[in-house]
Amino acid sequence: MQKKSKYIWYLVAICCLILFALMLISSIIDIGEKLRNIHLAVEIVFYVLVVVLVFFGIINPIRIIVSSPDLAIVTSLDHDDPRIFKVYKRVAKNIIENNQLPEDSAKLLIDYETKEELLINLQYVFQTDVKKDLNRIIINNAKVVLISTAICQSARFDMITVFGVNLQMIKQLVLKCGFRPNMKNLSKLTINVFGTALIAEGLENMRLEDILPNSSMNVIGEIPLIKPLLSSVIQGIANALLTIRIGCVTRRYLFADGSVVTKEEIRRQALKEAAKILPLVVADTITFFPKKIVRFFTNKKKTGEENLAEI
């Protein structure tokens, strides 16, 4: 039964990728037909650019993720199976290549005598040097999603952006750790990423009236341009929260391989961690906007004349 459920996850994940590909092709053809009215050469250049972006933004990350070693396979092999040592050595090599390790940590992954010693060294380096950088990867990608989806007012572009950024984030986490989640968990992540992209597309049609009380809407309505601006920011924050959740789930899948962690525990912890990380993302994103504008809204104690003098 468990084996059958595994293949069901594979099938659903493949269907999600096919559906996303069809939606992407539809959007590309629609834009290409509009560019043809300008000039045929413009349309051709656009298609070439799209092929390059799709390869580096979607196809290559998927290739890197799938081709990375699966550390969970070690638990299903016999203790004396020589493939275990090969997996450990490949993970060690990936960690050295994709992390700026201190000299003593890198030496631990190079100088060893047995696979048991290498495993101990891997666990030590992972806990001391690798693990601390994973949150930074999640935060940086959530900031990209927040800014891009808040600025752009195209639902389909939001969907493609969220899908691409989440895929890049998973690739970065896999490269940083040196191994990937098992195929079943990768299938679940694919479904999560596709679902998040669809939510991002739906959020573009979200109205403030649906989430804020009438009293707040009356106040907001009296401030020029604040309503569309606030709506875009809320959309960006919602997409960033979903991106953080996927990052936290990916990280927990990586931690869970080889240990017993239930899917309910992974979801619960991912939501808790996402709620903690979101304020950091929003705070960091504020630096993207002009400092004088931020200061205008944050310095509440200053008089109107002082604020006008600063601007």
pLDDT digits (tens, 9 = 90+) for 254-306: 876 534 344 556 666 676 777 778 777 777 776 655 554 445 444 444 444 34
pLDDT digits (tens, 9 = 90+) for 14-54: 999 999 999 999 999 999 988 988 888 999 999 999 999 99
pLDDT digits (tens, 9 = 90+) for 54-108: 999 999 999 999 988 887 666 555 566 677 788 888 888 888 888 888 888 888 8
Mean pLDDT of 147-171: 87
Nearest to 200 by CA among 153, 257, 247: 153
Task: Supply the pLDDT for residue 59.
Answer: 92
Task: Supply the pLDDT for residue 200.
Answer: 79
Q: Where are the alpha helices (DSSP H) in 126-179?
A: 131-151, 155-177
Residue 168 has pLDDT above 90, yes or no: yes
> Per-residue confidence at 170, pLDDT binned at 50, 70, 90?
very high
Complete DSSP assignment for 81-134: -HHHHHHHHHHHHHHHHHS---HHHHHHTTS-SSHHHHHHHHHHHIIIIIHHHH
> Per-residue confidence at 169, pLDDT binned at 50, 70, 90?
very high
82, burial (CB in 10 Å: exposed 0-12, middle 13-18, buried 19+): exposed
Spatial separation of the C-alpha atoms in residues 174 and 251, rounded to whole Å: 9
pLDDT digits (tens, 9 = 90+) for 97-146: 888 888 888 888 888 888 788 888 888 888 788 877 888 899 899 999 98
**156-159: long-range contacts at Cβ-Cβ below 8 A with a sequence spacing of 24 or more?**
156/23, 156/27, 156/201, 158/200, 158/201, 158/203, 158/204, 158/235, 158/239, 159/23, 159/197, 159/198, 159/200, 159/201
Nearest to 77 by CA among 69, 95, 8: 69
Task: Supply the pLDDT for residue 301.
Answer: 41
Burial 109-140 (b: 16+ CB within 10 A, else e): beebeebeebbebbeebbeebbeeebbebbbe
Task: Supply the pLDDT for residue 164.
Answer: 92
> Per-residue confidence at 215, pLDDT binned at 50, 70, 90?
very low
> Per-residue confidence at 252, pLDDT binned at 50, 70, 90?
confident
Task: Supply the pLDDT for residue 173.
Answer: 92
Q: Decide: 69 and 180 in contact? Cβ < 8 Å.
A: yes
Task: Supply the pLDDT for residue 287.
Answer: 62
Task: Supply the pLDDT for residue 204.
Answer: 61
More confident residue, 89 or 223: 89
Torsion sign, CA atoms 103, 179, 129, 89: negative
41, burial (CB in 10 Å: exposed 0-12, middle 13-18, buried 19+): exposed
Give, in order, the Cα–Cα distances in Å from 183 to each of 122, 274, 277, 286.
22, 24, 27, 37
Q: Decide: 177 and 168 in contact? Cβ < 8 Å.
A: no
Torsion sign, CA atoms 292, 236, 31, 44: positive
> Per-residue confidence at 166, pLDDT binned at 50, 70, 90?
very high
pTM exceeding the 0.95 threshold for the entire prediction: no
